[in-house]
Every structure is written in structure tokens, then in C-alpha cells.
């Protein structure tokens, strides 16, 4: 231990206080013993009228008195010399003479505060245990309670950090959402941003279709409003999010199942559907609505000139109804495939890898990520459900419906299976 640190160590100061007590006892007891021994020598010599014993007592009295004086004053002489020469000014001698209960407790408090800072920086359970042990040495009960309160506040962050690394070993979508929500609610901005970054850096989001709500009749999808007269950007902002955050969320979902896999466009579509449904919305249908770029469009939901309506079977209806930016059927499918390949226009050259009936012998011919196409509509296959003789599909369809999950049965002869080229 360095000399300059010794007075900051309460344990050392406690030992020094004990040494100081022992030295004080020695300074008093030894001179008394020496003086008593001199007196006993004189009393014995006088009582026995022993001149030799008396001469011997006379010879030793000076030695014993000098020894008694030295024992009593040597600590003072040493301290005085050290003070004059400034030797060990802040070291053992100084701490020895100042090892009082108050200063010992002050040293414990300094160490406790220092280790509390360390645990606040590290957010590690090992440092928490050390800090708690040091705080428990503090004798001032009010100060101890104050430090323990602060330490337990930090312990909440330690537990959250531990949850991050548990989740990193075994990902769970619901636990991820819950943990992220709790991290975002932390009032300490420095801790909040640090833990959110650790979450982002260490937890690899993994998705599967089972992580999503695949029932079109689920309460999540009930009573949704189309984005009409309010932009996607505004809806996200009202809910504490933004376009970039949603783009990242979709990208992470795609990457978790593998860019270019047949599940990728489906999880992109489902991520968009569930996110907006959580806010009470879906994307409106817009005749001619395309967005074949990676990412979402913040202006979805705002007014747009229905300039493509001349090609609609009912142009006047089209001009009155489809006035808010969104998807038409092919626009939605191509957007989803573009996200799946993380490439602008990613879906334009990948369809048409195969063309046939929806099913053969009760078994689906199309798989997740493929498309079902008629003369005037196209949908994305979420998954085939052979037991029910149907496909679960994601689509953008006309009227007030817009984007949604739905079913298409194998017996619908108006549609054919058109496969998409994927890596799996």
C-alpha cells in the first residue's frame, strides 16, 4: 500500500487506532511498573536493613526513572522530529496520531463513495458487492442509508444490463420489446443511452413467422383507420418514433431471417402491419401507388393527385377515393420483396420463376414469399395452410381496405401461383 493512500483506508486506520491505544497503555503502565519496582526495592532494603540492597536500589533508580520518562515521551519525540523534518508528513505517523473514530468513519465514507462511482460506471455485480461491503463499514447510519439508497438505484440498472446479456444468449421477441420499453423509460439519460446501445450492440434480433400475429381476426387488426390526411411520419412522431427507427426495425427483422430468403419480405410486411396496427392504422390503398425503395415512405397518408385513375375501371370513383399516398396491390408486393432483398426495385426481376395452379392434390404449390396473381390483383404468400386448404396472405386491396392480412383458398381458380427466386 502506498503511504499517501494509507489515511484513506478505514481498515488500516482502525488497526492504527488499536496500535495507538496499545501505545498509550504502554506509556502509562510501563513507567508505573518501573516506579513501583523502584519503590519495592527501597522498601525491601529498608525493611531488611540491607545496605547492599539499598546501594543497588540507589544505582537502579536513575536508570528506571530515565527509562520511564523515555517510554512516556519517545512517541512525542518521534512525532516532533518527523514534524520538524516533514518526514512521513502524510504517512503512517500522521495517520497513527489522527486515527480517531471520526476520521476512520470519514475514510470509510470516502472509500464507499469511490466504489459507488466505480459500480455506477461499470454496472457490474462484482463491483456492486464490493461497494455494498464498503458502505456497510460506514458507522454514520444516516450516511450509510444515503449511500445504500443510491447503490440500490444503481442495482436496478445492473439488473437491466444483466437482462440484456441473458437476451443476447437466447432471444425472445416479447422480452426484447419489454426490456427495450423499460430501458427507454430510464430517467437518467446517460444510463438510458448507454444501456440502449448495449442492447443494440449485443442482442441479435431473430425473427420467425411465429413471432408475429398471423390471425387476420386478431383484436390487433380490428377497427384500424387508413392513413388518410395524416402522414406516416406524423403518426410515428406522435408515438415517440420516427421513419428511421421504423426502417431500422424492418431491416433488423429482415436480417434476422436472412436477406434474400423467402421469409424476408414476409417479416418486412408483417413488421410494417403490426407496427401501424399498434397505433391504430393501416396503409391506405392508392391506385398506382408504388414505393420500390428500401425503407418506408414518411409521406404515406398525405394527399396525392390521383393521376393514374384514367386506367382504373371506374375513373371517377378512383379520383374520389384514392387520394392519399399508399400502395396498390403490386406496389405493396414489390415493396415487400425490395425489403426482403434490401435492394431498391428488388422485386421487379424476381417474380415469374414458376407459374401454376394454387395447389395440387390438396398441397400448396406456392410457399412463403411467393405470389398469387390474377388478371387484376397480386398478393404475397405469408404461409400455406394445407390443413385448411388455404394461403395466409398479405395484400393491399381496393376500397377502404388497404393493407391487411387475409386468406385465399386453394380452390380460387382466378389466381395462379407465381414463384419468386430466393436463396432458400
CA 338 to chain centre: 32
> Among 103-112, 139-148, 342-351, 357-366, which stretch is predicted with the lowest mean pLDDT?
342-351
Q: What is the pLDDT of residue 169?
A: 78
157-162 mean pLDDT: 94
CA angle 306, 309, 313 (to 5 degrees): 150
Q: How many other CB atoms are found less than 10 A from the CB of residue 167?
A: 20
With a cut of 90, say whether residue 183 has pLDDT above it: yes
Query: Rounded CA gap, 105 and 103, in Å?
Result: 5
In the chain, count H helices and then E strands: 13, 10
Query: In 28-80, where do the E strands start and end?
Result: none
The average confidence (pLDDT) of the chain is 84
What is the per-residue pLDDT across 42-99, written as a single tens digit (0 to 9) for each? 777 677 777 776 677 666 777 777 776 776 676 666 556 545 544 445 455 566 666 6
Query: Rounded CA gap, 394 and 379, in Å?
Result: 6
Query: For residue 189, what are the CA distances in angstroms to 153, 192, 196, 208?
Result: 14, 5, 10, 33
Q: How confident is the model at residue 129 (pLDDT cuts 50, 70, 90)?
A: very high
Region of residue 255 (left: phi > 0; alpha: psi -120 to 50; beta: else): alpha
Q: Does residue 294 contact residue 257 with C-beta atoms inside 8 Å?
A: no
Q: What is the pLDDT of residue 1?
A: 37
Q: How confident is the model at residue 9 (pLDDT cuts 50, 70, 90)?
A: low
Q: Does residue 231 contact residue 414 with C-beta atoms inside 8 Å?
A: no
CA 56 to chain centre: 84
**What is the largest distance, in Å, between two alpha-carbon atoms of the chain?**
145
183-188 mean pLDDT: 92
Strand, helix or coil at 405? strand
What is the per-residue pLDDT across 274-307, written as a single tens digit (0 to 9) for each? 999 999 999 999 999 999 899 999 999 999 988 8
Enumerate residues 6+ apart whose C-beta is below 8 A from 288.
306, 307, 308, 309, 311, 328, 331
Strand, helix or coil at 402? strand
Query: Rounded CA gap, 393 and 374, in Å?
Result: 14
What pTM value is reported for the model? 0.58
The DSSP call for residue 148 is: H
Domain boundaries, the chain: 3-99, 103-202, 209-420
Query: Rounded CA gap, 366 and 363, in Å?
Result: 9
Q: What is the pLDDT of residue 23?
A: 72
Q: What is the pLDDT of residue 7?
A: 61
What is the per-residue pLDDT across 320-367, written as a single tens digit (0 to 9) for each? 989 899 999 999 999 999 999 999 876 554 555 557 899 998 899 999
Residue whose C-alpha is closest to residue 405's, from 193, 224, 235: 224
Decide: residue 141, CB within 10 A, 0-12 exposed, 13-18 middle, 19+ buried.
exposed
What is the per-residue pLDDT across 232-265, written as a single tens digit (0 to 9) for each? 999 999 999 999 999 999 999 998 889 999 999 9
Query: Rounded CA gap, 336 and 342, in Å?
Result: 10
Q: What share of the chain is helix, strand, coil (3-state, %, to 5)?
A: 55, 10, 30
More reliable by pLDDT, 84 or 197: 197
172-181 mean pLDDT: 84
Residue whose C-alpha is closest to residue 381's, from 352, 342, 419: 419
Q: What is the pLDDT of residue 16?
A: 65
Residue whose C-alpha is closest to residue 300's, from 320, 319, 270, 324: 324
With a cut of 90, say whether residue 143 has pLDDT above it: yes
Q: What is the pLDDT of residue 13?
A: 64
**Residue 135: enclosing H or E segment and its boundaries?**
helix 125-135
C-alpha cell, 160? 437491466
C-alpha cell, 257? 431471417
Q: How confident is the model at residue 3 (pLDDT cuts 50, 70, 90)?
A: very low
Amino acid at each position: 500500500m502506498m503511504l499517501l493512500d494509507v489515511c484513506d483506508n478505514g481498515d488500516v486506520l482502525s488497526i492504527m487506532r488499536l496500535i495507538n491505544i496499545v501505545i498509550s497503555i504502554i506509556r502509562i503502565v510501563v513507567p508505573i511498573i518501573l516506579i513501583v519496582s523502584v519503590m519495592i526495592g527501597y522498601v525491601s532494603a529498608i525493611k531488611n536493613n540491607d545496605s547492599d540492597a539499598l546501594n543497588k536500589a540507589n544505582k537502579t533508580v536513575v536508570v528506571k526513572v530515565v527509562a520511564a520518562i523515555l517510554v512516556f515521551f519517545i512517541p512525542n519525540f518521534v512525532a516532533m522530529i518527523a514534524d520538524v523534518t516533514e518526514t512521513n508528513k502524510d504517512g503512517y505517523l500522521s495517520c497513527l496520531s489522527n486515527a480517531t473514530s471520526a476520521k476512520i468513519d470519514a475514510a470509510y465514507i470516502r472509500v464507499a463513495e469511490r466504489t459507488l462511482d466505480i459500480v455506477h460506471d461499470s454496472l457490474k455485480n462484482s463491483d456492486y458487492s464490493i461497494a455494498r461491503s464498503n458502505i456497510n463499514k460506514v458507522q454514520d447510519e444516516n450516511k450509510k442509508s444515503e449511500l445504500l439508497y443510491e447503490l440500490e438505484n444503481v442495482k436496478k440498472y445492473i439488473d437491466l444490463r444483466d437482462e440484456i446479456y441473458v437476451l443476447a444468449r437466447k432471444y425472445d421477441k416479447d422480452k426484447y420489446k419489454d426490456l427495450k420499453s423499460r430501458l427507454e423509460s430510464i430517467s437518467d439519460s446517460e444510463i438510458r443511452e448507454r444501456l440502449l446501445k448495449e442492447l443494440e450492440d449485443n442482442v441479435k434480433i431473430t425473427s420467425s413467422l411465429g413471432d408475429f400475429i398471423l390471425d387476420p381476426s386478431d383484436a390487433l387488426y380490428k377497427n384500424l383507420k387508413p392513413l388518410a390526411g395524416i402522414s406516416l411520419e406524423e403518426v410515428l412522431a406522435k408515438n415517440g418514433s420516427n421513419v428511421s427507427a421504423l426502417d431500422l426495425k424492418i431491416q433488423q427483422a429482415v436480417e434476422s431471417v436472412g436477406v434474400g430468403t423467402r421469409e424476408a419480405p414476409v417479416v418486412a410486411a408483417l413488421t410494417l402491419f403490426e407496427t401501424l396496427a399498434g397505433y391504430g392504422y393501416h396503409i391506405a390503398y392508392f391506385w398506382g401507388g408504388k414505393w420500390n425503395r428500401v425503407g418506408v415512405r414518411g409521406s404515406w397518408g398525405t394527399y396525392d393527385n390521383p393521376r393514374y385513375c384514367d386506367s382504373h375501371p371506374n375513373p371517377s370513383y378512383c379520383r374520389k377515393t384514392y387520394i392519399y399516398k399508399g400502395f396498390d396491390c403490386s406496389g405493396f408486393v414489390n415493396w415487400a420483396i425490395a425489403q426482403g432483398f434490401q435492394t431498391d426495385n428488388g422485386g421487379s426481376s424476381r417474380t415469374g420463376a414458376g407459374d401454376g395452379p394454387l395447389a395440387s392434390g390438396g398441397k400448396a404449390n406456392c410457399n412463403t414469399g411467393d405470389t398469387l396473381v390474377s388478371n387484376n390483383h397480386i398478393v404475397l404468400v405469408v404461409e400455406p395452410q394445407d390443413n385448411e386448404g388455404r394461403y395466409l396472405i398479405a395484400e393491399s386491396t381496393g376500397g377502404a381496405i388497404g393493407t391487411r392480412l387475409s386468406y385465399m383458398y386453394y380452390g380460387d381458380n382466378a389466381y395462379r401461383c407465381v414463384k419468386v427466386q430466393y436463396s432458400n
